[in-house]
Structure 1
Amino acid sequence: MEKYHMAHKSERLLVGLSGGADSVALLLCLYELGYDICACHVNHCIRGEEADRDQHFCEELCRGLGIEITVKRVDVPAFCRENPVSEEEGARLLRYKALQEIGADKICTAHNLDDCLETTLFNLARGSGLKGIASIPPVRENIIRPLIECSRADIESFLAEKGQSFVTDSTNLLDEYSRNKLRHKVVPVLREINPSLMETFAKTLGFLREDSAYLERLADEAFEKVTCGDGYSCKMIRELDYPVRRRVIMRILAKYDIEVGQDKIEIIEKLVNQGGKANVKANCFAYTKSGVLYVFTEKNDEDIQQDEVMIEPESVVDWQGRSVSFKLVIIDGKFENVNKKFANSCLDYDKIKGVIVLRKRRAGDRVTLVNRQHSSDVRVLMKQGFPVHKRDSAVILADDEGIVLAENFGAADRVRIDSSTRRVLIFEVIGE
């Protein structure tokens, strides 16, 4: 716990207590070390009377130690019928959800070195990068794993010394689960090849974790550098070494909740190198423009808002997935008192002709911007100032005589603020 800075004595620690050897040992260790602990037992409703036996064991154990315990029942079979996941994965998802709902400072799970070996083998068998082969992390957000460097043999020896009983989940004895096949059939063969398997693996795992953590840090730094506005610089992504570039692309995919896989990584690689547009998940597309990679989600018909909204001062308008506020500011007539950095978002409210509206660009829209001698095509301005998927949500204001403001380009010259201005209309995008 000290090595990985897992917890302070002042923090409340929640132990995920199944009743098995690992979680029982974890509970006793933290209890004897003087941590402020509570426990949670999750009954998965899979094994009938055996599951009820495990629940009763955990309740009695905590009662004897004076440890607060919460019992949660989750219907794993029903969840798996409604969601395309295995029973093993469904149980894991519901278990972590139940633990997070309790609200302790840290959640402690009893994963050990043997679990790490099985996870490494499992990820290796199905295909994985370095992070997957580096197995279960000692710390992930508020989840800590104090037994991560202890072998199962160490744990069972500790319990034997204490004379502490535990329960055995019968599903752990079956080979129908992938991890159980590794535990019962593959790991014993590896032990025959190397009797010191766990010691050797612990050292190797340490190296793998250090290498993986180093590459992840490089990728975090690179991701920040390649991000430019709403997109990502293709040139900067191309210049990254592949191990870092691959991780940066994975971060881009994850940001938009796109399932990370080699096929998606290769799609993004191709776009970065050759340009174009590609579908990366339902209603979600990636494309490149002017050397920038963009990812966007197309709105469903029900999400498409009206093309025009009348605005009033001191209001907030929902506009194409953005929240835009409008404020009316009274100034003293001295133009120099107006902060110049806001000038592009300002217009003289008293120069507005008729009603002012927020609307989409239209064919034929033109505007003569401040300090320009000629009018500009608004559609051309939008192409210059916004990627394709952002143009319909750009703030364009118009009155009875035409366009008075175009986002990123400023106000029309005829409504510019000057020494005679008393009321200034300012817009601000407060939510995307």
Structure 2
Amino acid sequence: MHSDLFDRIDRTVTEHNMLCPEDRVVAAVSGGADSMLLLHYLLSRRERWQLKITVAHVEHGIRGESSRADAAFVRDFCARQHLSYFEKAIDAPGEAKAAGMGVEAYARQTRYAFFQSLGCDRIATAHTLSDSVETMLFRLARGTGLRGLTGIAPVRGKIIRPLLDCTGEEVRAACTALHIDYRIDESNADERYSRNAIRHTLVPDFDRVHPGFMQNAARTLQNLQADEAYLQAQTAELLQAARTLNGLQTAVLTAAPLPLRRRAVTAYLEEKHFPVDALHLAQLDELLASGGRLQLPGGFAHVQRGVLTLEAAGAPPAAAIAYEQIVVSVAEFLTIRELSQIKIDFYCDYDKITGSVRFRQRQAGDRISPAGRGCSKSLKKLYCEYRVPHSRRALPLVAEDDLGIIAVAGCCCDQRVGVDATTRSVLYVVSHTED
């Protein structure tokens, strides 16, 4: 049976072009059945695809000793298998509260930022068909559009989900057949969480009412995903036709059918980091016809001389940007900078930093001595020199340690912490902005 399951995973990988020869793959492994089967699958195909596999684990600090035991389990497995392993421990509840975000959203954002920071061609996660169907039902209950009903995408950027055509039950059975040990997250049985109630109550009830529910739901997801892909392509064409130098032509938008028009406006709002909701979309649709000005949660929309433009009210809140700090050797950093496609906001000599690194907004009188330039410059002038958009200037771009400013994200680092011939360890920083 497990051979048949791996063959099915092969078909999923091939159908969605998930892997290429010699790919560097980061496997996101929690220690549960799904992720351990994913890791065993990747290891079984390592020689065939000539893959370079790295395992990554995030310990969220939510479940105490049990969570730390999960990390130790994955760490020990990788040590026995001589696998490259990276681990990150966070205090998700505390850090999420400080950032003004929900714990789940913050943990997810931090996880993916960490995976991206490792420098890879693919990030493999262990989402299954069961996860995708549960996601569809969760969003349906909460209220959503077509995109929300398509479940979990097989591929999104670098992220691949090879197990997406396998149910959770099939995965656990394969683990038993293959003698694959895994950890059990006791919180998955707590039906106070909506997703657990869907998994343990709603899905079994559907299956009793109509046996074969999971397979039927899988076909529904495939149909909806095909429809969504078509509409996304149509939306992209509409946006391209409507674009001007600083906005969208209203005549092009209003000539399009309402569903496509709303999709195009939604995509434009998301592109500019404006919050989107049904009420403001309806008001924006009226604005396209009438012209004028509309206040939005993120600023203002204007329709003048047949062009829709957006004006940000200051910058997005500080919680909209998160920073990942990674310390590596000089050799590792040179490899990451050469081979990785991630955008590094700044890097510096880790051993020259005093205390911890913190991020804040620019303040009056702030100055920096850019490394290698032999001068001091006000941050106000630096922002102009680097053409930092006004919409970003109120973000916490300034990095400081206990002695003062060490860098400005996206610009430069200070001479005091600059990398030189004596540098042994490099701190590099990657930012992640929530759309």
TM-score by length of 1: 0.68
Spell out the pairing of 1:157-236 with structure 2 (5 A cutoff).
157-236=173-252
Shift of 1:57: 0.9
| Residue segments in structure 2 that go unaligned for 5+ positions in a row | 1-12, 316-361, 364-379, 388-435
Bigger mean CA offset, 79-88 vs 240-249? 79-88
Q: 1:48 to 1:2 in 2, by over 3 A?
A: same
Report the counterpart of residue 277 of structure 1 in structure 2.
293
Quote the residue 1:74 is aligned against.
90
| Structure exhibiting the larger radius of gyration computed from Cα positions | 1
Query: Could you tell me how far 1:51 is from its partner in structure 2?
Result: 1.0
Which residue in the other structure is 1:95 paired with? Answer: 111
Gap change, CA 1:324 and 1:49, over 3 Å in 2? closer
Return 5+ residue gaps in structure 1 as ranges.
304-317, 326-432
CA deviation vs aligned residue, 1:165-202 (integer Å, no higher than 9, x gap): 10011111111222111112211111111221111111
**Matched residue of 1:164: which SS?**
coil
2:416 aligns with none
- Equivalent residue of 2:183, what SS? coil
Matched residues in 1 for 2:245 and 2:56: separation?
Answer: 44
TM-score normalised over the length of structure 2: 0.68
1:288 counterpart = 2:300: no
Cα distance per residue 1:95-121 (max 9 Å; x no partner)? 222212212211111000000011001
Q: What amino acid is the match of 1:12?
A: R
Q: Which residue, 147, 156, 162 being the options, matches 2:163? A: 147
Distance, in Å, in 1 between the alignment partners of 2:385 and 2:99 is: 34
Residues 231-266 of structure 1, C-alpha deviations (whole Å, 9 max, x = no match): 211111011112211110111101210112212211
What residue in structure 1 maps to residue 399 of structure 2?
A: none
Pairwise CA distance, 1:65:
2.2
2:97·2:103 contact (CA, 8 Å) conserved in 1? no
Cα distance in 2 for residues equivalent to 1:180 and 1:132 = 19
Aligned partners of 2:81, 2:178: CA distance in 1, in Å? 14
Query: Structure 2 counterpart of 1:281, which letter?
Result: P
Q: Could you tell me which residue of structure 1 aligns to residue 27 of structure 2?
A: 15
State the secondary structure of the residue aligned to 1:93: helix
How far apart are residue 90 of structure 1 and its match? 2.6
Q: Post-superposition shift, 1:286?
A: 0.7
Where does 1:363-374 land on structure 2 (aligned, <5 Å)? none
Measured in 2, the distance between the counterparts of 1:218 and 1:98 equals: 34
Structure 2 counterpart of 1:411: none
Q: Per-residue displacement from partner, 1:345-383 (whole Å, max 9, x unpaired)?
A: xxxxxxxxxxxxxxxxxxxxxxxxxxxxxxxxxxxxxxx
Identity %: 31
SS of 1:288's equivalent in the other structure is strand
Aligned residues: 309
**Whole-Å Cα distance in 2 between the matches of residues 159 and 52 of structure 1?**
22
In the TM superposition, what are the counterparts of 1:380-399 in structure 2 within 5 Å?
none
Tell me if structure 1 keeps the 8 A contact 2:126–2:163: yes
Partner Cα separation in structure 2 for residue 81 and residue 288 of structure 1: 38
CA distance in structure 2 between the aligned counterparts of 1:229 and 1:80, rounded to whole angstroms:
38
Higher RCO, Cα 8 Å, sep 6+: 2
- Residues 44-67 of structure 1 show CA distances to partners (whole Å, capped at 9, x for unaligned) of 111111011111110122222221
8 Å contact kept, 2:27–2:54: yes
Shift of 1:322: 7.2
CA distance in 2, matches of 1:254, 1:13: 29
Deviations 1:377-428 (A, max 9, x none): xxxxxxxxxxxxxxxxxxxxxxxxxxxxxxxxxxxxxxxxxxxxxxxxxxxx
Change (3 A) 1:79 1:221: same
Whether the 8 Å contact between 1:253 and 1:260 is mirrored in structure 2 is: yes
Deviation at 1:27, TM superposition (A): 0.2
CA distance in 2, matches of 1:132, 1:233: 28
The 4+ residue runs of structure 1 with deviation greater than 4 A are 321-325
SS of residue matched to 2:295:
strand
Alpha-carbon distance, 1:298 to partner:
5.0
